[in-house]
A = this chain, B = another copy of it.
Amino acid sequence: MPFTYNRTVHFQDTDAAGVVYFANVLGICHEAYEESLETSGINIKGFFSNSSVAFPIVHASVDFLRPMFCGDKLVISLMPQKLGIDKFEIAYEISVGDMVVAKAITRHVCIEVSSRSKQELPDEIIRWLETNRRDAEGAERRKSREIM
């Protein structure tokens, strides 16, 4: 099973059109990424602030299939993938009940913070990528079997 993160839509996430403000959906995906890292044993505080290595997002995209409302119970599933020795990508799927309401991608590169030069992914991220990929593949296999 891919890693999933549960998140209720807060009032602050919404805008005057009565639904979640579009850019906030990417913020919610990032929360799922943080929780997934933490679940795999990574110290979030160090990872995101005091480290010599960082993983800035170089690309993000999001497709909105249905509006999300205050109080909606979102389930965000997360599937990361290694793209090279110094980069990875995460695919997110956001559902409410049986409905997929949005899909997103974030692409990250690994840099050495002071010089901002690219650098190989460290072991803890390699492990996180492998654990979550394997899990996601397991889910894919299970899904194909159910279809057959």
| Chain A interface, number of residues (Cβ within 8 angstroms) | 45
Scan A31-73; emit 1 where CB is below 8 A from any B CB, else 0: 1001100100001110111100010111111111001011110
CA distance A54 to B67 in the complex (A): 12
By secondary structure, the A interface counts as mixed
List 27 interface pairs A-B (beta carbons < 8 Å), by A numbering. Answer: A8-B34, A8-B35, A10-B34, A11-B16, A11-B17, A16-B19, A16-B49, A16-B69, A17-B56, A18-B49, A18-B50, A22-B26, A22-B57, A26-B26, A34-B70, A34-B71, A38-B71, A43-B71, A48-B70, A49-B70, A58-B63, A59-B62, A59-B63, A59-B64, A60-B61, A61-B61, A61-B62
